[in-house]
Amino acid sequence: MSPDATAEDVAHVVEKVEGVGGEAFVSKGVVRTIIGLVGDLESFHHLNLRTLKGVADVHRISDPYKLVSRQHHADRSTVWVGKEGKRVPIGPDTFTFLAGPCAVESAEQTLEAARMAQSAGATILRGGAYKPRTSPYAFQGLGVKGLEILADVSAATGLPVVTEVVDARDVPVVAEHADMLQIGTRNMANFGLLQAAGDAGKPVLLKRGMTATIEEWLMAAEYIAQRGNLDVVLCERGIRTFEPATRNTLDVSAVPVVQATSHLPIIIDPSHAAGRKDLVVPLSRAGIAVGADGVIVDVHPDPETALCDGPQALLGADLRELAQAVRRLPEAVGRAQAHDFVGRG
Ligand code: PEP
Ligand code: MN
């Protein structure tokens, strides 16, 4: 309350709060009185407390997200991806390696990339059939044909598939072919798409919007959770900063910050963060060290001819170096390999 608030002003606020079923705790200081509210936040919003006489300011202390918050769900969650009996965990005790081409270009290229990913130790295949491109003239993806290729490659390799959905109308067909739906950075705040993904009955990989705060990102996850789908994995993929040396700046702090406030798993994408293949291995090491639950990386059998994101795709010696880091380092931070737990969830 403002310093000149009267006893009547305080009583009026208390009466309003109690009128909507809340509790009001009044603490009188020498200069100011503070009123602490306990109860349903939504009903307090309707009171327009800031407009009441004598009120100086209103601060929210509890998290604005409920379902994805750790406040009422202290244990961190594990999300299982894939078909019954072959599910792969992404969660607090394991480290999960996801890899594949940026885009599905052909059946041969996708199968080859999937084999590369699998030999490097990946347990989930990534690959875009619908590509959200900054330019409308750039390759937009193969669409349903690409989904069919992914489903075939998944059957041939046994790897579950995560693929992006860019339009709410495509959610059913993507969910029919894929094991996990990806929402990309450009669509993180597309609330209709988030709700449709929440209704799809498949786990969701939610990338951080390139200009989104962590709170905005968790609110986006809340949209999915609110539709009854708590199988959401967050992905830090770099944010826009003033630095042009990298495509984006990988915000490694986001990993422990998210883990402190949300129970959802969080992985990092060093490929889309850096946009440069020489940074993928060092950033992956950083991700493991900071406690990420997994890493998702672009690989391609022939990056020079890639239709999308060739400069960041790994192959050969670089991929072997990544494979070694992913095999060795998680143990040093107390994590088991996800592939040792496949099928247990
Ligand atoms: C992708 O993973 O293919 C992609 C487009 O990523 P982002 O949304 O992070 O740019
Ligand atoms: Mn890409």
What is the pLDDT, as a whole number, of residue 320? Answer: 98
d(CA 173, CA 12): 55
How much distance in Å is there from the Cα of 17 to the middle of ligand 1?
45
* Predicted pLDDT at 74: 95
Residues in the chain, pLDDT under 50: none
Q: Is 185 in the pocket of ligand 1 (CB under 6 A)?
A: yes
Helix (H, G, I), strand (E, B) or coil at 332: helix
237 lines ligand 1 (CB under 6 A): yes
What backbone phi and psi angles, to 5 degrees, belong to 155? -65, -40
The answer to whether the CB of 272 is under 6 A from ligand 1 is yes
Decide whether any atom of ligand 1 lies within 6 Å of the 102 Cβ.
yes
- Closest among 211, 297, 286, 224 to 256, alpha carbons compared: 286
What distance lies between CA 106 and its chain's CA centroid?
Answer: 28
What's the predicted TM-score (pTM) here? 0.92
CA torsion sign for 196, 269, 98, 128 is positive
Q: What is the number of the ligand closest to the CA of 163?
A: 1
Q: Look at residue 30 in the predicted model and tell me its pLDDT.
A: 86
Query: What is the identity of the amino acid at 219?
Result: M
Task: Give the Å distance between the CA of 60 and the centre of ligand 2.
Answer: 38
pLDDT of residue 96: 98
Q: Is 238 in the pocket of ligand 1 (CB under 6 A)?
A: no
pLDDT digits (tens, 9 = 90+) for 9-44: 999 999 999 999 999 999 888 889 999 999 988 899
Which residue among 162, 165, 185 has the greatest number of ligand 1 atoms within 8 angstroms of its CB, and so is best to mutate? Answer: 185
